[in-house]
């Protein structure tokens, strides 16, 4: 495998821990919320900050790449050996919206370390997990005595992931030459838990839409007119309620077309994990499970597609009553997709389904966000073994198991465009609260991420050079 | 009938028109929104303003009556003849919420007369229709040369009608002695149209509730957890969608229990009205009809009970997307009730129905507002003929037809508590926009209201003295 002494990586990491955390905190202070136009300048600032930091880290190439939306960052550090394999690390520098009044106990953009946890929007999703690569590559060099990484190392850190990566695929296509790689390493997922380190092998895709429904030209009196005209809030509710049947299966015709079924082997791997429903519910901050009949909770979140309402609104939502038929209502829906589903086909199916269900007298406007493809790492890929070994070393020899992620990322676009397999390397844990108030990252795990990245490049360089024909999918 | 010369009433009304409108405008400037706690002082101010104005009008007794909520106003002007019958006028001085940003073209609390229409929140519902009684009784006295009305005239103007009159029944019960009356005249309804004057013979009742649904303790990631836990916004939508079957009948078991069916005679009276669906839709500012199978639009809004969603909300409603399962959602429902339905029984049925439909893992909180009973005037009541005659004189001999109102008022409580039949006298028209932005009243019709009130007391005094046994129901 590799000659890198594990203790050298750990010593280097510990030595630079304080500066690393201080730098990360500086980045987290930039509210790079890509979904909110008022934060456009912050997203740009975040990109510029990162590009400068990567240059300081030692990447000879570090550039801000423009898109029609928010900018991405690209950095490149060639190996000394021109024949070394190439690795492209993917992450994102934009974050979900966050406001103190959503229930945060600290300012979401003023990072605080409390009991070994770094709290801030983006701490885990995804700035923390991008940032461990900066110290990771330095530790790799320090421990091996190299002046350049063992692989041609490239980073592509996008700025629109939390907005559905609307320009990512086009960017990847336009820059395919510079992005060319043997494997993609996605650092935007997590592990099973603090004590069960795992490697993710797949992510769900995503399609989402907003439906605006317009009924009366203004709010009208529910006594004078109620019972005789269509109510757009009722129509909104009927759309949402109609999404599922009694078995919690999605009813939209064609929705399940092409879905890759779970194999028995995969179901067994899932079942090996120390799943505890009560603990999982605590992480989900939920008080009950509900999902598609015939599937376990892990199967439901990792391997089955969903339809979910993210927001619904219409009429009077203030205190007291207001006896109106509202003029309008809105629904935000998102669909998680699994391998074999095509987001474009889903959009067509959803559009047709909605058109059939909106009654006369209600006008509607349907808009889709950018979609994200599902992806799945081949379980037999040799590079996956490298990730497992690197992680096991960082975790003091622990057995590394396999998971999937219910969330979505544009990794599948890189797979498609670059023809390279996708691997996942993430150290976030379910309690990190992605997209939620009080998002945090465990500082100890963040440093395990640094160590894993530090071990990985040497191992991958060896493994990939040995693999003549790499399977791709 | 009466010796009141119609021209004297009209001359008096015209002469005092400007001062009447100026006074009304002063009252409309007080934002007496009973549903919003921040307007509690305004509701009180409105009551005090009215009590003073009624004293100025000549009522020897004019008092603010306290309730556990907003105050009512009571005024009394005894007839010279102790044997004269008693009439109690009902109205309300509180108004619906209104804000410029809801779509008003003028400030809702800064009355403006534009093209013969007085625009303000409360212009028609109900301050304008209460206020025509002030000039009405003066015109009655002036035209007949009386110094006191022909009937013992009482006014009860409550302050919580737009909040469901939560303390009204208790107030009526506590003050039953002072409210004792032969008939109740409710001035809180409307007419068919500017050119088809009508008398209303019934109002629907109202029960309403708010359901708060709590799922995860905070918003959670729809990728990480979606498909495996119950989503409170989905549950909210399913409740709303489950309210009706495919025939738009309410599905709640027991909901239709006791409903008084429409007679053929009533259906014929409705069918006589010059109903034009396109015109009605314009008034409803709506673009299609939808309602219970087997009933016409008028039957649906006047004589059939409904379930309507007034507000729904949950999750992310801002710009862009946010892939969450929301922590909570809410629904505001209201039910219009017709003769034969008991609001208490409806609340029990609704509570039971909701309890059966909220899944494990979702906690909920259900609160009902104060309910209002439905009421119906006997078509054969002699006092109803008095109203028809008085109105016909104000409308230059026009034929007066009969309608009902889809809206609700606490008139049925007065009927129950005081054992007196309820009559309706209103001049508002459907285009007045009750509860909506740009509420207005037609100034010409407001003055017809003054004239009708001026003609009514003499006629009622004669009619009621002649009627030995008045039917009540």
- CA-nearest residue to A299 within chain B is B228
- Please give the C-alpha separations between residue A34 and each of A31, A47, A334, in angstroms, as whole numbers: 9, 12, 18
Regarding whether A439 and A319 lie in a shared domain, the answer is: no
Record: contact B322-A284, CB cut-off 8 A = no
User: Residue B466 — φ and ψ, nearest 5°?
Assistant: -80, -25
- Which helix or strand (DSSP H or E) is residue B465 part of? helix B443-466
The Cα of B171 is separated from the nearest Cα of chain A by a number of Å equal to 21
Q: Is B290 close to A320, i.e. CB distance below 8 A?
A: no
**B99 in reach of chain A (CB within 8 A):** no
Residue of chain B whose Cα is closest to the Cα of A294: B228
CA–CA distance, B419 with B162 (Å, rounded to integer): 24
Q: Do B236 and A312 touch (CB under 8 A)?
A: yes
Edge to edge, the sheet with strand A401-405 lists A375-376, A198-203, A401-405
CA distance B287 to chain A (A): 4
- Grouping H, G, I as helix, E, B as strand and the rest as coil, residue B22 is helix
Q: Does A31 reside within a domain? A: yes
Residues of B in Cβ contact (< 8 Å) with A228: 284, 289-291, 297, 300-301
pLDDT tens per residue across span B129-160: 999 999 999 999 999 999 999 999 999 999 99
Confidence of residue B372 (pLDDT cuts 50, 70, 90): confident
Rounded to a whole number of angstroms, the distance from the CA of B163 to the nearest CA of chain A is 7
Within a domain: B289:
no
Tokens 């990512």 belong to residue = A168
Tell me how far apart the alpha carbons of residues B66 and B51 are, in angstroms, rounded to a whole number.
13
Q: Looking at the complex, does the CB of residue B251 fall below 8 Å from at least one CB of chain A? A: no
The secondary element (H helix, E strand) that includes residue A384 is: helix A382-394
Residues A220 and A125 in one domain: no
Closest-CA distance, A51 to chain B, in angstroms, reads 27
Same domain, B349 and B421: no
Do B213 and B314 lie in one domain? The reply is: yes
Give contacts of B 112-141 with A, CB under 8 A: none
Q: Quick check: A284 and B240 CB within 8 A?
A: no
CA–CA distances in Å: residue A266 to residues A164, A261, A270, A272:
28, 10, 6, 10
The reply to whether A14 and A44 lie within a common domain is yes
Q: Which residues pair with A206 in a beta bridge?
A: A336, A372
Query: What whole-number distance in Å separates Cα of residue B311 and Cα of residue B333?
Result: 7
B212 token code pair: 């708060």
Q: What is the pLDDT of residue A321?
A: 87
Nearest CA in chain B to A316: B311
Is it the case that residue B341 has pLDDT exceeding 50?
A: yes
Residue B473 placed within a domain: no
The verdict on B379 and B437 lying in the same domain is yes
Mind spelling out the 3-state secondary structure of A312-361? EEEECCCCCCCCEECCEEEEEEEEEECCCCCHHHHHHHHHHHHHHHCCCC
CB contacts under 8 A, A 43-72 vs B, are: none
Q: Which residues contact A377 (CB under 8 A, 6 or more apart)?
A: A200, A201, A202, A384, A421, A422, A423, A424
- Nearest beta carbon to residue A290 from set B103, B229, B309: B229
pLDDT of residue A253: 98
User: Which has the closest alpha carbon to A160: A150, A172, A151, A145?
Assistant: A172
User: Which residues is B76 bridged to in the sheet?
Assistant: B61, B154
Q: Where are the alpha helices (DSSP H) in B253-360?
A: 264-272, 277-283, 297-302, 343-357
- Pairs across A and B, CB distance < 8 A: 377
Please report residues of B whose CB lies closer than 8 A to that of A316.
97, 310-311, 332
Cα angle A417, A419, A420; round to 5: 115
Listed residue (B406, B408, B417) closest to B370, CA to CA: B408
In a domain, A98, yes or no: yes
Q: Which among B237, B244, B430 is the nearest to A312, CB-wise? A: B237
Do B254 and B315 lie in one domain? The reply is yes
What is the rounded distance in angstroms from the CA atom of residue B384 to the CA atom of residue B380? 8
Interchain CB contact of B238 with A (< 8 Å): yes
The alpha carbon of residue A111 and the mean position of all alpha carbons in its chain are separated, in whole angstroms, by: 21
In a domain, A330, yes or no: yes
Sheet strands (E) in A66-165: 72-77, 86-92, 112-114, 117-119, 152-158
Place of tokens 């000879």: A60
Q: Is A42 a domain residue? A: yes
The DSSP secondary structure of A28-83, one letter per residue, reads: HTS--BTTSGGGHHHHHHHHHHHHHHHHHHT-SEEEEEP-SSS-EEEEEE--SSTT
Q: What is the DSSP string of B355-411?
A: HHHSPTT-EEEEEE---B--EE--TT-HHHHHHHHHHHHHTTTPPPEEEEESS--TH
> Is there a single domain that holds both residue A64 and residue A154?
yes
Rounded to the nearest 10 degrees, how much is the dihedral formed by the CA atoms of A48, A49, A54, A57?
A: 150
Average pLDDT over residues B417-442: 93
CA distances in angstroms from B68 to B52, B90, B165, B177, listed in the order given: 22, 19, 11, 20
Residues of chain B numbered 298-317 and touching chain A (CB < 8 Å): 300-301, 304-306, 308-317
With an 8 Å Cβ cutoff, is B369 touching chain A?
Answer: yes
**Of all residues in chain B, what percent carry a pLDDT higher than 90?**
85
pLDDT category, B265, cuts 50, 70, 90?
confident
Closest CA to A203 of A392, A380, A456, A372: A372
Dihedral (CA of B189, B194, B199, B202) sign = negative
If asked whether residues A216 and A192 sit together in one domain, one would say no
**CB–CB contact B325 A308 (8 Å):** yes
Contact of A97 with chain B, judged by CB distance below 8 Å, is answered with yes
**pTM recorded for the entire structure:** 0.79
Band of the pLDDT at B5, cuts 50, 70, 90?
A: low
Among the partner residues B97, B239, B434, nearest to A224 by beta-carbon distance: B434
Q: Which of A338, A368, A398 is the last residue of a domain?
A: A368
- Write down the pLDDT at residue A265: 85
Say which DSSP state A405 is in. E
Examine residue A309 and state whether it is found in any structural domain, yes or no.
Answer: yes
Are the C-beta atoms of residues B348 and B329 closer than 8 Å to each other? Answer: no
**Is B403 at the interface with chain A, CB within 8 A?**
no
Mean pLDDT of B194-202: 93
Residues of A in contact with B289 (CB under 8 A): 228-230, 361
- Note whether A56 and A169 are same-domain residues: yes
**Hey, what are B75's tokens?**
């005024």
The reply to whether A244 touches chain B by the CB within 8 Å rule is yes
Residue B3 has pLDDT above 60, yes or no: no
Q: State phi, psi for A52 to the nearest 5 degrees.
A: -65, -40
Tokens of B65: 């009556």
Domain boundary among A368, A396, A414: A368
**Averaged in consecutive runs of 10 residues, what is the pLDDT profile of chain A (473 residues)?**
70 97 98 96 98 98 97 98 96 96 95 98 98 98 96 98 90 97 95 93 93 97 94 98 98 96 89 93 94 97 96 95 95 96 96 97 95 84 94 95 88 89 93 92 98 97 74 44
Domains in chain B: how many in total? 2
Mean pLDDT of all residues belonging to chain B? 94
- Short-list B432, B412, B428, CA closest to B472: B412
Over residues B29-53, the mean pLDDT reads 97
Please give the Cα distance from B452 to B89 (Å, whole number). 13
Residue the block writes with tokens 């709506």: B286
| Contact yes or no for B286/A215 (Cβ under 8 A) | yes
Contact A277, A297 (CB under 8 A): yes
Indicate if A153 and A255 belong to the same structural domain: no
Angstrom distance (rounded) from CA A221 to CA B284: 9
Please check the confidence at residue B235 and state whether its pLDDT lies above 60: yes
Q: How many helices (H) and strands (E) does chain B have?
A: 15, 18
Element at B310 (helix H, strand E): strand B306-315
> Are the CB atoms for A406 and A205 separated by under 8 Å?
no
Mean pLDDT of B383-395: 96
Q: Does residue B182 have a pLDDT over 60?
A: yes
B38 contacts chain A (CB < 8 A):
no
Q: Find the mean pLDDT for residues B413-435.
A: 92
Chain A hits for B300, Cβ within 8 Å: 227-228
Query: Contacts of residue B236 in chain A, CB cutoff 8 Å?
Result: 237, 312
Domain boundary among B368, B395, B423: B368
Contact A236 B312 (CB under 8 A): yes
Contact A163 B286 (CB under 8 A): no
Distance CA(A379)–CA(A263), nearest Å, equals 12
- Angle, CA B14 vertex, CA B8 and CA B17 arms, to 5°: 135
Could you tell me the two tokens for A368? 């889709």
Cβ <8 Å between B226 and A336 = yes
Which residues does chain A have within 8 Å of residue B288's beta carbon, measured at their own beta carbons? 229-230, 359-362
User: Which domain range does residue B330 map to?
Assistant: 205-259+305-368
Domain assignment present for A437: yes
Indicate whether B270 pLDDT > 50. yes
Q: Tell me: ipTM over 0.95.
A: no
Which CATH number covers residue A64?
3.40.630.10
Where residue A252 sits, what CATH number does that domain have? 3.30.70.360
Q: Is B80 found in the same domain as B225?
A: no
């Amino acid at each position: 495998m590799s000659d890198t002494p594990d203790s050298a990586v750990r010593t280097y990491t510990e030595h630079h821990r304080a500066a690393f955390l201080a730098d990360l905190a500086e980045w987290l202070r930039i509210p790079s919320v890509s979904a909110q136009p008022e934060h456009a300048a912050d997203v740009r600032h975040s990109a510029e900050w990162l590009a400068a930091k990567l240059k300081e880290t030692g990447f000879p190439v570090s550039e801000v790449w423009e898109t029609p939306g928010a900018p991405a960052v690209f950095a490149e550090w060639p190996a000394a050996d021109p024949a070394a394999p190439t690795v492209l690390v993917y992450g994102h520098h934009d974050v979900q919206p966050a406001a103190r009044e959503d229930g945060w106990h600290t300012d979401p953009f003023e990072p605080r370390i409390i009991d070994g946890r770094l709290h801030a929007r983006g701490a885990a999703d995804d700035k923390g997990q991008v940032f461990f690569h900066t110290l990771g590559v330095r530790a790799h060099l320090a421990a091996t005595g190299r002046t350049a990484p063992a692989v041609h190392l490239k980073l592509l850190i996008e700025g629109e992931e939390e907005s559905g990566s609307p320009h990512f695929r086009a960017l990847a296509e336009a820059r395919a030459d510079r992005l060319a790689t043997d494997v993609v390493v996605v650092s935007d997922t997590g592990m099973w838990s603090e004590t069960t380190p795992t490697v993710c092998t797949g992510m769900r895709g995503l399609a989402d839409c907003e439906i605006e429904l317009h009924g009366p030209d203004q709010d009208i009196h529910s006594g004078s007119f109620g019972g005789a005209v269509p109510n757009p809030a009722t129509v909104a509710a009927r759309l949402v309620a109609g999404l599922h049947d009694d078995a919690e299966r999605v009813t939209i015709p064609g929705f399940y077309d092409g879905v890759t079924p779970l194999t028995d082997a995969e179901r067994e791997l899932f079942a090996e994990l120390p799943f505890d429903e009560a603990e999982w519910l605590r992480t989900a901050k939920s008080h009950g499970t509900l999902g598609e009949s015939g599937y376990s909770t892990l199967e439901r979140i990792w391997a089955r597609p969903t339809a979910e309402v993210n927001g619904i609104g219409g009429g009077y939502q203030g205190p007291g009553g207001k006896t109106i038929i509202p003029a309008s209502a809105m629904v935000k829906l998102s669909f998680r997709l699994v391998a074999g589903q095509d987001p474009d086909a889903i959009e067509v199916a959803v559009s047709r389904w909605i058109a059939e269900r909106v009654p006369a007298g209600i006008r509607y406007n349907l808009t889709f966000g950018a979609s994200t493809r599902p992806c799945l790492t081949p379980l037999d890929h040799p590079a996956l073994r490298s990730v497992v070994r690197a992680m096991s070393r960082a975790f003091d020899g622990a057995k590394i198991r396999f998971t999937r992620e219910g969330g979505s990322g544009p990794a599948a676009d890189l797979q498609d465009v670059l023809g390279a397999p996708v691997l996942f390397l993430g150290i976030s844990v379910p309690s990190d609260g992605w997209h939620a108030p009080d998002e945090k990252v465990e500082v100890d795990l963040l440093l395990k991420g640094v160590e894993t990245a530090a071990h990985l490049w040497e191992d991958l360089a060896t493994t990939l050079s040995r693999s003549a024909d790499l399977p791709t999918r």
